Each structure stands twice: as C-alpha cells, then as structure tokens.
Amino acid sequence: SVIWALSEVLSGRKGKLLLTRPVVEAGESLGFLPGDLKQKLGPYLNPLYDAAEYVLSPQQIKRMEENGTIEIAPLAYMRGRSVNNAVMILDEAQNATRAQIKMFLTRLGENSQAIVTGDPSQTDLPLRKESGLDEAIEILSGIKGISVVRFTHSDTIRSRIVREIVRAYSEKEEKSEGQTGI
C-alpha cells in the first residue's frame, strides 16, 4: 500500500501521502518515550518506512516529510480534518476501534483515497475493546468505489519462512473454528 501510494504522489496524481496507525503496543509496554511527536511515533511507523525504503532513499523520505509530501499523523489527532488530494493509509487497523475507523474514513476530502490495512487475527486491543476492522469491512463492502481485498498465507511476501508460519497459524485457527466444544 505504501509503495502504491508513493507512486501516486511521485506521478503527481496525488499531492501527498498521509500515514497513520493506532498507537497500541503488542503485549509489552515501552512506557514513556522521550522526544517530539515524530520521535514518539517513529517506532510505531517503522514498518511503513521500511516499505517506503523499497522505492526511496532515507534522504528522499526525509525531504518529502520536510516539504509535507509525506505526513505522519497520529490517528488520535485527525478529528476535524479534511484531507484533500492525498492517499491516506491507516495501517494496523485491527487495533483501531469502530469510532477511530469511522473518524479516519470521514476525513476523506476531494481527490483523496483511503487505504485501510490490518489483520483481524492479530489485534492487540485490550480485552473488552473490539476492533472496528471487521465491522468496517461488513458495513462498507457493498458501497460503490470501495474495494475489500483479503489476503491469505500464500500472499505473504516477507519471506518463505514467514509464509509457512502464517499458514500454520491459519490452519490451527480454521481447526479451532470448526470445533464446537460441545
């Protein structure tokens, strides 16, 4: 998604790339992080930077951030905005609540597109908080102009071993769902 979004910006079809994700940690707490907003968000956005570095140098990324072509926006700070002429990416949306996903999607302005990525099986939300990703897929799938793409373990490109790990977990989950427990 990041590489496609960058191609839209670099071609001039969009004016900027806005990256966001919920600030939810995977089981362990890092505690207070020093620094400005960019430094605090850095660890959460590293996967997006990793993808960008497939097509841009770190210097190009820094220059695009400085001139506003790439914007890092905390999800919590997006309320009230209208984002025009941009590709907006909400990454790790399985960690966003229903209200957060709705808020993100309703920021779409003229000539903007939103990409929402996430794996419902990998939520890190605390107990009693439900991910809004499954509901968003259910509610929005029938709307013209909205596409839902589901990937399987065979779509994994990180590495062969990760593809096999994802396959093994998927098979285990499918077996568990097939058992009623009665």
What is the distance between the alpha carbons of residues 75 and 92, in angstroms, rounded to a whole number?
A: 11
Contact between 103 and 132 (Cβ < 8 Å): no
Q: Is the pLDDT of residue 88 over 60?
A: yes
- 119 plus 69 within the same structural domain: yes
Lowest-pLDDT choice from 20-29, 126-135, 171-180 = 20-29
Q: CATH number, domain at 34?
A: 3.40.50.300
- 156 plus 137 within the same structural domain: no
- 75 plus 95 within the same structural domain: yes
> String of b and e for 137-148 (b: at least 16 CB within 10 Å)?
beeeeeeeeeee
Domain of 100, in residue numbers? 2-149
What percent of the chain stands above pLDDT 90? 45
Q: What pLDDT digit, counting tens, does each position of 131-175 carry? A: 889 999 999 999 999 999 988 767 777 788 888 888 888 888 777
Confidence band of 179 (pLDDT split at 50, 70, 90): low
Number of domains the chain contains: 2
- 75 plus 156 within the same structural domain: no
- 134 plus 161 within the same structural domain: no
Give the single-character DSSP code of 34. -
Show the tokens assigned to 148. Answer: 């839902």
- 112 plus 91 within the same structural domain: yes
C-beta atoms surrounding 123 within 10 Å: 20
Q: Which residue has the higher pLDDT, 133 or 41?
A: 133
